[in-house]
Structures are given as C-alpha cells and as structure tokens.
A and B are shown apart, each in its own frame.
Chain A
Amino acid sequence: MALIEADKISKKYTLGDVEVNALRDVSLTIDKGEFVSIMGASGSGKSTFMNILGCLDKPTSGRYLLEGIDISGLDRDELAEIRNVKIGFVFQGFNLLPRTQAIENVELPMFYKGVATQERAERAMDALSMVGLETRAKHYPNQLSGGQQQRVAIARALVNEAPIILADEPTGNLDTKTSVEIMDLFQRLNVENGITIILVTHESDIAEWSRRTIRFMDGQLMLDEERKATHG
C-alpha cells in the first residue's frame, strides 16, 4: 500500500463569478521513504496540492488516501487529528509561536495529542537533539537565527513521529549556507529515519536534493521524474 495515493484529484474555487480550476485530475502515488520535491510557478496548483496532501483542505472531486484512509470523508476534528499524528509541517516563515520557548514550541503537537508531561519533556528534548539544538531549548524564537528557528520547526514536525514531513519553501527565508544545512538535515531524516519528505520549492538547486521531482503547470501534473540524488 502506498503512503499517499491521489486519484484524479480536482479542486475548484469560485472567485466572484469566475470558477478557477486550481487542480485538474491529478493522480499520483508516493511511497514510504521517498524524498519528493514539488515544483511549479505560482498559480500552478502546487500550493493547493500541498494543502490537500497536508489535510488542510479537501479535494472537490477525486480520492485522496493517506495510509489507506480516505480523507474526503473526515470532518474538521478528524482532519486535525490526522495532521497531528501523520504530518509534520515546516513552513517558509518558520511559524513558531512568539514568546514561547523553543522546547515549548516543540511540545505543542504533543499537547494536542494528549501526551503525559514527563514523556512530553523527554521527547521534545530528543527532537531538539536530532536537529542539534538541545542547548537552545530555553531560547525564545526572537533569540534564535533563521536557520535555528527552522530547525526548531523541524523538531516540532518530528516530535509526534509523523511518517511524513511536508515542507513548504523551507529555505525561502534562509541564506545559501543555512539552506544547505537545512536540506542536509532533511536528507539525514529521510535516509536515517525513513521519514517521507515532500518539499515544495521553486529553486531547482533545492529540488536537486530530492530523488523525485513533480512539476505542476496550470493545475495539472506536467512532469514526474525520478533521478539519483546529487547530494549526500
């Protein structure tokens, strides 16, 4: 069974009188342990596709199976639960909670899952060590550099042991050197921990870290190519 199975997914929006087909009949499967990059110009439908993969949105038609579960039949709270345990999000703008320590940010998904206090603290610390920030646990986001903030966000994505990390332009706000560090971290999580990484980017040198590239254009899947990773 594939980890992710999209079957003829379409998404339509109505903007005023105009109906926009953001996605048209997109079908693809992603297996466990893959490192996939999704590319495309803005408006190509890649963000819409990401939102559906991340269970933040539901397709207008078609089926989306995540570990065999049909997402379209789930309600708000069931989707929240899926996001909580199956998907780790990493955003371009880091999206850490302000005035909240790094470790508390990492603990957040476990609160919503209902993990006990002791275990929560231990697992948050483990996740921070995985991204090399165990010494910064008590720092607030505004005391951390961009790269460090993004690593806290990755620790947060890891902490509930979600099988998938969805990263939306994770290096968009970072300089080249830091970008390389973050991509290196993703690659390590992919190879060593077997986490499926799905990465949205418009930079081809970032996409080169992945072993499969999917390209969107006008809401349709244009290209789906596998290659040997050039890094690592």
Chain B
Amino acid sequence: MVNVPWTARLALRALKANKMRTLLTMLGIIIGVAAVIAMLAVGTGATQQLTEQISSMGSNLLIVLPGSTTSGGIRMGAGTQPTLTAGDAQAILEEAPAVDAVAPVLSGTAQVVYGHQNWSTGIVGTTSSMLTVRDWPLAQGRGFSGADVKNATKVCLMGQTVVDNLFGDEDPIGKNIKIQNLPFTVVGVLSVKGQSAMGQDQDDTIMVPLTTAQRKLFGTAFPGMIRIMLVKAKDTSELDNAQTQITDILRQRHHIGQQQDDDFTVRNLTQIMQAAEQSTKIMTLLLGAIASVSLLVGGIGIMNIMLVSITERTREIGIRMAIGAKTWDIRFQFLMEAFIMSMIGGIGGIAMGMSGSAVLSKIAGWPVIVSPFSILLAFGFSGAVGIFFGFYPAYKASLLNPIDALRYE
C-alpha cells in the first residue's frame, strides 16, 4: 500500500531541492487563486450592495408617473402633464385586488429653518401608507394620523440627515421648525435608509401630510393633484396583475378611449432592480471565469515543471523501480509533488486574494466580500488543478522502462 506521510515528506524534499523553481511554479497558482478570490469578492460585494439598495427601496414596488404633454406636436417626457390625483390613489387602493398599499406623493424642495440652523431639503407630501410601501419604519415618534391628512395639519416626519443638520444632538420630537416660513411640528424621525441605488441620500428628506403639501406648501394646478404614486403589490407574483389593474382603473377614471394612449406610465421598479442584480451576478461569474483562466495557466506551469523534473530525475525513477517501486508508487510520488505545490500555492493565493480584496475595497470605496464559499472553491480548485495537471507527468514517469531509466545520464 502507498505510504501517504512518507510520500508527502519525499515530495516536500524534492520541492525543497529546487526552491526557486518551486516558488515560481507556485506563483502561477498563487496569482490564479488570488485573482479568483479577489474577483469573486468584488462581484459579491457589488451584488450585496445592490441587494441592500433594492430592499431599502421597498419591495414589490410599482411607480405610477403622470403622462407626457404634447405641445405643438412635440411630445414631452413622462411626468410633464399633471394628471394624477389623490382620488386616483384612493381608487387604486380600493379597486385593485393585487394592490396592498398606495402612497401618493407631491414633492418639492424647500428651505427648512430651526433656530439658527437652516437646510434645503426635499419635502414629500404623502400619507401614512408611504412608510408601508417603502418598508420604512420610524426610529422614534409617531406617523401621520388620518386626522393629520384630513385636516392638513402642519406636522412632519424627518430623515436622519435633516435631523443631524438642524438639531445636531438635540431631540427633535415636539420641536417646531419652519418650512417656507410656515411652522411645523416634528412628530417622528425616520429610521436610517442610506443611499439609494442612484446614489441619493434617502435620509435627506422631510415628509408632511399630502393635503398640507397640496394646500399650504406647493401650489397645485387643480385640487387634489399629486406628482406620482408609489404602489406596493401584495406579492412579487402579483406585480404584473397590479400593473394591469392600475392601468385599467386609471384609463377608466381618466376617460381614455380605446385608440388613445395612456396619460400615465406604470413602472415596475423592483423588476428593473432585480434585472440589475441579475446582471451583477452574471458579471461576478464572468470575472470569476476570467480569473480562473489564470489558474488554468498556473496548472499548465505545474505540468511543465513536473515534466522537466521527471526528465531530470529519470535515473532516480529507475533506481526506485529496480528496488521494487510499483506503478502507483511512482505515480503517487509525482502526483503528491504537484498536489503539494498547488495546495501551498492555493493557501498563498487565498491569503493574497484576501489582502488584495481589502486593499481594493479601500481604494475603490465599495464593499468587497470574501465569502467562505469562494475560499472553499479556490482551495478545492487549486487541489484539483494539481492533480489534473500532475497526472500526465506522473503517468509518464510510471511507464518508464526501468532499464532505460537506470542507464539515463
């Protein structure tokens, strides 16, 4: 039977006899494994960031935008014609079975003042549904009540960025601020959401009741006008149904004839983001595949060196055969050398890949995640490369004719 520890010791000794050569051969594997680890880490980091952004946006989300205007035959972009109303939002919530919640939005930018501090931020007029639609819990305080929306009270919810800029360390709940010189009471603080997929700071916002925005902050072309609405479908599988139902309800409410185009647009944001996530995943795989080509090249390097080594050691092989080494004794000896080289290279590569990823993350400023899976993959892959590329040289060595091998100078 083959003696594993002894063969391993034998292999290590043979590798040590040619330190420089062994190191250079291992370098091929080291670079290959490091590249695989780093590329997968970059890809995994990007995917994770995107996933977080998608969940921060809210799940199963549809956006309804008003339609485009046509002036003098020139069609303007989507959202240029104010056609959506709070009534539309109410109708969708009541009549579309696939819809879970609807948040109408009328937004603008305003200067906000507290004491000596002032800050310009986005003001979002909406209802309490907004927090449901966007999966956005409060950090403290309360949300809008039905009475707030009905009576257009001057209360507001504040994003963390605004809190930081106006209040610093002070507790904002119950404090009065001025938005466009109108006094508002802060009733709640929104939990931190971070950046959106487009890189906007989602916490730089103030929410006020929709009616307050309509009647007191921003002028509207007609009563009840809203800019857009965010719709949450009951389930991911209901997104398409919800889209159809919204379209039908709005066409009916807006009296749009059979041949006429919609005066609104329904966008499935979740789907768009999921497509982006999918493409990031594919990019990760692609990067990994490209990186593994260098691992393949490293493997060919091992094979090359093993073939040279076997030629150089023909006489040694002959001696071993003469004194009783069998086919598998010889084969195993050289396989072990290739395997050890690739495994040590693999370990070095993992170390280099991990530190490389850390550096990359610092420089590029995006999260880089070395997953245990990628380490296991790299480790297994480098071992397999060693065995695969070591096999042919080992096979060749084991088939030498002992007489010729002994006579080899």
Contacts and interface: CB of A to CB of B under 8 A. Distances in A.
A127 to B, nearest CB: 13
Nearest to B316: A97
Interface in B286-325: 315-316, 318-325
B406 A95 contact: yes
Interface in A52-69: 54, 56-57
Interface string A166-204: 000000000000000000000000000000000000000
B326 A77 contact: yes
Contacts of B402: 56
A108 B331 CA distance: 16
B1 A83 contact: no
Interface stretch (A1-9, A33-41, A110-118): A110-118
Nearest to A47: B403
B258 interface: no
A83 to B, nearest CB: 5
A80 B319 contact: no
Contacts of A108: 320, 323
B6 A99 contact: no
Interface of A: 51, 54, 56-57, 76-77, 80-81, 83-85, 89, 91, 95-100, 108-109, 111-114, 156, 160
Nearest to A157: B323
27 contacts: A54-B322, A56-B403, A76-B326, A77-B326, A77-B327, A80-B324, A81-B324, A83-B324, A84-B324, A91-B406, A95-B318, A95-B322, A96-B319, A97-B316, A97-B319, A99-B17, A100-B13, A108-B320, A108-B323, A109-B323, A111-B3, A111-B6, A112-B323, A112-B325, A112-B329, A113-B324, A156-B323
Contacts of B3: 111, 114
Given A80-B325, A111-B3, 9 more contacts: A56-B403, A76-B327, A80-B321, A81-B326, A95-B318, A97-B316, A98-B316, A114-B1, A114-B3
Nearest to A107: B6
- For A77, A85, A100, A156, the residue with the greatest tally of chain B CB atoms inside 10 Å of its CB is A77
Contacts of A76: 326-327
Nearest to A88: B323
Interface of B: 1, 3, 6, 13, 17, 315-316, 318-327, 329, 402-403, 406
A81 B325 CA distance: 8
A150 to B, nearest CB: 14
A84 B329 CA distance: 13
A113 B2 CA distance: 10
A166 to B, nearest CB: 10
A228 to B, nearest CB: 33
Contacts of A160: 324
Which 4 pairs across A and B sit closest by C-beta, in order of nearness? A84-B324, A112-B324, A77-B326, A109-B323
Nearest to A110: B324
A77 B324 CA distance: 8
B15 to A, nearest CB: 12
A156 B323 CA distance: 9
Contacts of A99: 13, 17
Contact of B322 (A77, A89, A96, A100): A89
A89 B327 CA distance: 19
Nearest to B318: A95
Nearest to B6: A111
A159 to B, nearest CB: 9
Nearest to A86: B324
A95 B315 contact: yes
Residue of A76, A80, A84, A156 with most chain B CB atoms under a 10 A cut-off: A80
